[in-house]
Amino acid sequence: MADASTIYINLPDVLKNLSDFKASVCGVVTPKIKFGECLDEKKRGKRAGNYTVKLVSRAKKVQFCEPKWDGNGRQLTARVMIDNFSLAKVLVDKGFGRACVKGKKKSWCIG
């Protein structure tokens, strides 16, 4: 997991070149785990990522709504619904992410 708003998907029953890809959850910005600007962001990212993994692994149904592919067809951006709840909204409501606002990126680092 790159961060709480990126989900890696494996579909073993489809063509090999389509079986593994990433889905970016639209509507939310989460702290980065690997490429965080500071230790605090990385720690927040890890907690948010663990929470997302827990939600996805316990879900009865995960839906990728209104999907859009990037230019090279390997990254999907979609509204992700977990058991009929918006993953973006849940992450924001639980403090693991911020609502996505174009052009405005607030640091996760303290100070």
pTM for the full predicted model: 0.83
Residue 42 and residue 79: Cα distance in Å, rounded?
Answer: 24
Where residue 13 falls among pLDDT bands split at 50, 70, 90?
low
The 10s digit of each residue's pLDDT in 38-82 is 999 999 999 999 999 999 889 999 888 998 887 776 678 889 999
pLDDT given at position 1: 61
Q: Is the pLDDT of residue 5 over 70?
A: yes
The pair of three-digit structure tokens given for residue 22, joined into one six-digit string: 């990433």
What is the amino acid identity at position 87?
L
pLDDT in tens, 91-104: 999 999 999 877 66
Residues composing the chain: 111
